[in-house]
Amino acid sequence: AQTVTQSQPEMSVQEAETVTLSCTYDTSESNYYLFWYKQPPSRQMILVIRQEAYKQQNATENRFSVNFQKAAKSFSLKISDSQLGDTAMYFCAFMKHDSNYQLIWGAGTKLIIKP
Amino acid sequence: DAMVIQNPRYQVTQFGKPVTLSCSQTLNHNVMYWYQQKSSQAPKLLFHYYDKDFNNEADTPDNFQSRRPNTSFCFLDIRSPGLGDAAMYLCATSRGASGRYNEQFFGPGTRLTVL
């Protein structure tokens, strides 16, 4: 069975700083997908970034980038130039390649950006 | 804009009084999901529909039922809400193809309070 672990329940940084959220996972699958979802307070869950396991290149989306270490089963999210609007719960999630529905979720990291 | 809509956003019910939450989507996705999310926790999948095929998670209580009368709409029925059912209920959709195209899109959620 797959598991996803986020070891940081809560983090806070000053606006404009860079912050890295950690995520590790356990799987025997070779082909899978990893996601970071963001859930702002009282707002809907949105996808921040996705990574296909077969791709060696780390995914980036504007200020968001990942450090995907397949051998170490690590998938951290880096937020550069953090903004107040980045304050949210961040969930790491795993999905097998041949799955058409099941996301395995981490427990989440509450990120607070301080002005 | 294509989206996932949930109504109502806030629902208050009494202990034991049946309640129905609704979800609609304009994305024309094959799969619709219902999640339960308690405070600061990861979403917990209750069930999902792949087209008309209903898939119940093994640990979803019998108190929770779902209906999907057409592609666009899906309902969550809680037959006899208990205090422990107070939570945010998230609806999500995905195309249903395996792999990266199975990104899940979330609605804003319905916060259920049980008195």
Asked if B108 and B35 count as a contact pair (C-beta separation under 8 A), the reply is no
Q: B11-37: per-residue pLDDT in tens?
A: 999 999 999 999 999 999 999 999 999
Residue B6 is predicted with a pLDDT of 96
Q: Say yes or no for a CB contact (<8 Å) between A107 and B99.
A: no
Q: How far apart are CA A67 and CA B7, in angstroms?
A: 38
Residue A2 is predicted with a pLDDT of 86
Residue A85 is predicted with a pLDDT of 96
Whether the pLDDT of residue B60 is over 90: the answer is yes
Residue B95 is predicted with a pLDDT of 87
Percent of chain B at pLDDT > 70 equals 94
CA A114 centroid distance within chain: 20
Q: How far apart are CA A35 and CA A75, in angstroms?
A: 9
For residues B51-69, one letter each, b for 16 or more C-beta atoms within 10 angstroms of the residue's C-beta and e for the rest, the string is eeeeeeeeebeeebbbebe
Nearest chain B CA: its distance from A91 CA (Å): 7
Whether the pLDDT of residue B101 is over 70: the answer is no
Residue A5 is predicted with a pLDDT of 97
DSSP chain B: ---EEEE-SEEEE-TT--EEEEEEESS--SEEEEEEE-TTS--EEEEEEETTEEEE-TT--TTEEEE--SSSEEEEEESS--GGG-EEEEEEEE---SGGGG--EE---EEEEE-
H or E element that contains A2: none
Nearest chain B CA: its distance from A10 CA (Å): 11
Q: Which residues of A touch B90 (CB under 8 A)?
A: 45
Residue B70 is predicted with a pLDDT of 95
Instruction: Report, as ranges of residue numbers, the positions in chain A whose pLDDT lies below 70.
Output: 100
Q: Say yes or no for a CB contact (<8 Å) between B98 and A97.
A: yes
Nearest chain B CA: its distance from A115 CA (Å): 23
Residue B1 is predicted with a pLDDT of 66
Q: A4-31: per-residue pLDDT in tens?
A: 999 999 999 999 999 999 999 999 998 8
**Chain A residue at shortest CA distance from B32:** A101
Q: Residues 56-115, chain A: which have Cβ within 8 Å of B?
A: 89, 91, 95, 97-103, 105-108, 110
Q: Say yes or no for a CB contact (<8 Å) between A106 and B106.
A: no
Asked if A22 and A8 count as a contact pair (C-beta separation under 8 A), the reply is yes
